[in-house]
Structure 1
Amino acid sequence: MGEILVGACSWTDRALVGSGWYPPGWRDAEGRLRHYAGQFSVVEVDSAYYALPSERNSLLWSQRTPDGFVFDVKAFSLLTGHPTRDAALPADLRGRTGRGVSDAGLLDEVWARFASALEPLRRADRLGTVLFQFPPWFAPGARSETFLRECAARTAGWPLAVEFRHPGWWQEGLYDRTAGLLAELGTSAVAVDMVQTLRTSVPPVTPVPSPELAVVRFHGRNEAWGTGSKEDRFRHTYADGELAEWVPRVARMAGHAKRVHVLFNNCCADAAVRAAEAMRRLLADEGLTVR
């Protein structure tokens, strides 16, 4: 039975910082991370989706966290086919996205800088996985499979996890093909909890194509998922009953993978960290190995 690491999808979210969860004296950058790492064993770096991370920050993160703590780093938007603001690029690379990512090797350069930024985490054994969250229009098909293979080739040797936002990947009839493709590529799959009443709702399936790692991300169950602001989309306080639905699912995942990461993305005030605390308690009550 694998071990289960539980945490949140950010430790720097403005709403969390303002919620009072961090104690006085621990609210600067170093203090926040040290406090968070004293409570949980995994965190997602969601900021890497919006702007390329830096080697300096990765080094500081590795120095400010204890052995055994890991970071799941979200891939930069350009690397997953999402629209990317020109301002999100380093200054010397701006002005080129409008002409396509192939312009003068822009995509190659972004990949190289992203990889370089993660090296301090890799060297310190702090890199849990790199999360590739693909957009809702990334539908099953030959073109998408080719793109996945390219991503896997560029990340050879990295721990990699894939989250699909198009529900078709995990629907009946394609589930086995999707799981088989990820197993062939040596990548982990991300299971999701989200509202199930939308056309774009991803079903709560729990594939484990990699024996090394499985990931679950809890997005909340807000009906405004597809239309509202960030706060609207992610505003949800998980009840114990909702979390309990996932206890046997996570247990099954831990039966097939050496490690399971359970991460909460309902980042409004302290809702994510409180849900993580509750989930850790529920899993431990079932005798599972949780930290």
Structure 2
Amino acid sequence: MGEILVGTCSWTDRMLVGSGWYPTGWRDAEKRLRYYAGRFRIVEVDASYYALPSERNSGLWAERTPDGFVFDVKAFSLLTGHRTRPSLLPDGLPADAGDPRVLDEVWARFAAGVEPLRRAGRLGAVLFQFPPWFRPGPRSRDFLEQCAARTAGWPVSVEFRHPDWWREDQRDGTAGLLRQCGFAAVAVDMAPSLPASLPPVTPVTCPRLSVVRFHGRSAAWGTGSKEDRFRHRYDDAELREWVPRVHRLAERTERVHVLFNNCCGDASVRAAERMRDLLDR
């Protein structure tokens, strides 16, 4: 049976910090991370999607967390084909996100930014969450193969947001492509029956890792504010649906990452705590 790590997709989210989950007065960044790492063994870094991670911060995160704690780091927007404003590019780079020289430099800086976590054994995975318009086809296959070449030796997980990737007649091909690239497939929980809903499939494409991300079941997914899209508190019945699925993943992989992204107050940490209890039973 593989190891199952449960946590959340941020420890610095504004609504979590303001929810009262952290002890009163624990506003210092170091104290918050130490408090979080005393209760969970994994967290996702989502800030790296908006700005390239820095070596200094990665080094501090490694120092402030105990042995066995890992970080899943979300890939910078440019690296997953998302629209990236020139102002988000590092100083000194030309304001042209389509310039291959810019892409090469961004890859290099991203790699340098996560290197302290890799050296310390704290890099759980680099998450590539592709945009809703990234759909199956030759161009996307080429893009994934290029990502595989750039990330050789890294632990990588991939989340698709276009439902065609996991429709019944496409699933085997998708799983085969991820397996060829050495990428772990990300299973998702989200509101069913929406146009952009992905089915709760749990393919294993990498023997070392499987990932499940819980986005909440808000009907506002894809619309409205961030709070509207992710506002959901999981109940026990919804969590129990996933317990046998997660256990089956753990039977086939060395490690399973279970991460809650329903960032509304303390909803994510409470769901993670409860899911951990249910899995332990």
Report TM bin, short chain. over 0.9
Amino acid at match of 1:5: L
Q: Are positions 1:156 and 2:152 aligned together?
A: yes
Matched, 1:235 2:253: no
* Structure 1: distance between partners of 2:91 and 2:195: 39
Which ranges in structure 1 are unaligned for 5 or more consecutive residues?
Answer: 286-291
Q: CA deviation at 1:93?
A: 2.0
- SS state at 1:209 partner: coil
> Identity over aligned residues, as a percent?
72
1:94 shift after superposition: 5.1
1:71 pairs with 2:71:
yes
The alignment status of 1:47 with 2:47, answered yes or no, reads yes
Query: Conserved in 2, the CA contact under 8 Å of 1:87 and 1:94?
Result: no
* 1:249-288 superposed Cα distances (whole Å, 9 cap, x missing partner): 1011001001000000001111000000000001011xxx
Match of 1:261 in 2: 257
**Distance (whole Å) between structure 1 residues aligned to residue 29 and residue 222 of structure 2:** 32
Summarize the Cα distance change of 1:229–1:94 in structure 2 as closer, same or farther, 3 Å threshold: farther
1:101 paired residue number: 99
Q: How does 1:165-180 map to 2 (within 5 A)?
A: 165-180=161-176
Paired letter, 2:265: A
How many residues are aligned here?
281
Q: Deviations over 1:203-252 (max 9, x none)?
A: 10001111100000000000001111000000000001100000011011
Does structure 1 retain, via aligned residues, the 8 Å contact 2:94–2:102?
no
Deviates more, 1:209-218 or 1:179-188: 179-188
Contact in 2 for aligned 1:197/1:223 (Cα 8 Å): no
Aligned to 1:88: 88
Query: After TM superposition, which residue ranges in structure 1, 4 or more long, deviate above 6 angstroms?
Result: none
Whether contact under 8 Å (1:42, 1:72) holds in the other structure is: yes
Contact 1:25/1:31 (8 A) holds in 2: no
Asked whether 1:283 is paired with 2:276, we answer no
TM-score by length of 2: 0.99
Query: Shift of the alpha carbon at 1:25?
Result: 3.9
Aligned to 1:218: 214
Shift of 1:90: 1.4
1:184 positional shift: 1.2
Normalising by structure 1, report the TM-score: 0.95
Amino acid across the alignment from 2:204: V
CA distance in 2, matches of 1:114, 1:208: 27
Q: CA RMSD in A?
A: 0.8
For 1:238 and 1:136, locate their aligned partners in 2 and report how far apart those are by CA, in whole Å. 24
- Secondary structure at the aligned position of 1:205 is classed as coil
- Look up the match of 1:125: 121
Q: Does 1:250 align with 2:246?
A: yes
> Which consecutive unaligned segments of at least 5 residues does structure 2 have?
none
> In the alignment, what sits opposite 2:19?
19
Show the counterpart of 1:29.
Answer: 29
Change in CA separation of 1:271 and 1:101 when aligned onto 2, cut-off 3 Å: farther
1:61 aligns with 2:57: no
Is contact 2:3-2:256 (8 Å) kept?
A: yes
Partners in 1 of 2:168 and 2:245 — Cα distance?
18
Residue aligning to 1:10: 10
SS of equivalent to 1:131: strand
Give how far 1:86 is off. 1.8
Amino acid at match of 2:140: S
| 1:197 shift after superposition | 1.7
Hey, what's the Cα distance between the residues in 2 that align with 1:101 and 1:176? 34
Query: How far 1:91 sits from its partner (Å)?
Result: 1.9
Paired AA for residue 113 in structure 1? R
